[in-house]
Structure 1
Amino acid sequence: MKELKKEHLKIKRGLPQFNNEKAIILVLGKEEGFIFRAKNRNINVVGKFEEKALKYSDRKKDFDIKAGSKTLRVGSPSYSIKSDQRHKFVKKSVINLIAITKREKPDLIYLLLPAYLSKMVRDRLPAEIRRKLVFTVMGNYIRKHPFVILEKIIN
């Protein structure tokens, strides 16, 4: 996880203010994620991580796996690479969320992530985090301003 500047952004009126409660907001994209902490009318980034996609020169070539005279699997290596990459990213996301949750001890946890990652992330979350999970929003909000993210939480 990258080291971040401690910049607090004052939450504007009309958005959740998180008075007397602490919330962690996990925002995931395709290859990177941010973890925000919202508390007492302030929001700031407390974690940033990424898992860059690996590029292989034989991406376009099809392959088949054979066992004796039978073909077990036919396909493109990019599919399995993409799947492996996705699992690594989800694992890294959950590890970072667990670490920050232990440090920050939030009352509420929100997830904003693409639909295709939702089940994988939820299945890997420990029970104590799932109990604090309030809301999940499907979509890619990785490049959105924190106020847009907070608007999605209240809608």
Structure 2
Amino acid sequence: MAIHALTMLARWSDRSLTSAEIAESLASNPVLVRRILGSLRNAGLVFSTEGRGGGWSLARAPREITLHAAYAAVEEGRILSRHAHPPSEACEVGRNICALLETEFREAEQAMEERLGRTTIADLLRQILTIEREYAPANR
């Protein structure tokens, strides 16, 4: 949802968008959208203005906002969950599984962070506009 909202803000960067406009595209609730936008604001990715014509805008250029930055702004903690409580030391699986999975999960999370760090909101917008130009007129 955060990446969707950021991409909308990039697409219509000539004006601010309201949380209701973004929520409509997300088929979601404006209250939930405002919560997500608040997290993006706290991360320095968006800002809001009040009053007539107010709404939300990008705080940085779309080429400066990676998918990882958006993800990190709205998600807390590790991507892959670990054991909620320590397994049994009496079991050979229990004694070893946490350390083994920690290595696997850490490498997987690092790979995801690196991959999301290579794609920007500008990249997504460029792809969306290309798709719209090439395919949408034939389907309308």
In the superposition, the TM-score normalised over structure 1's length comes to 0.28
Which structure's residues are more often helix, by fraction?
Answer: 2
Larger Rg: 2
Write 1 or 2 for the structure with the bigger share of strand: 1
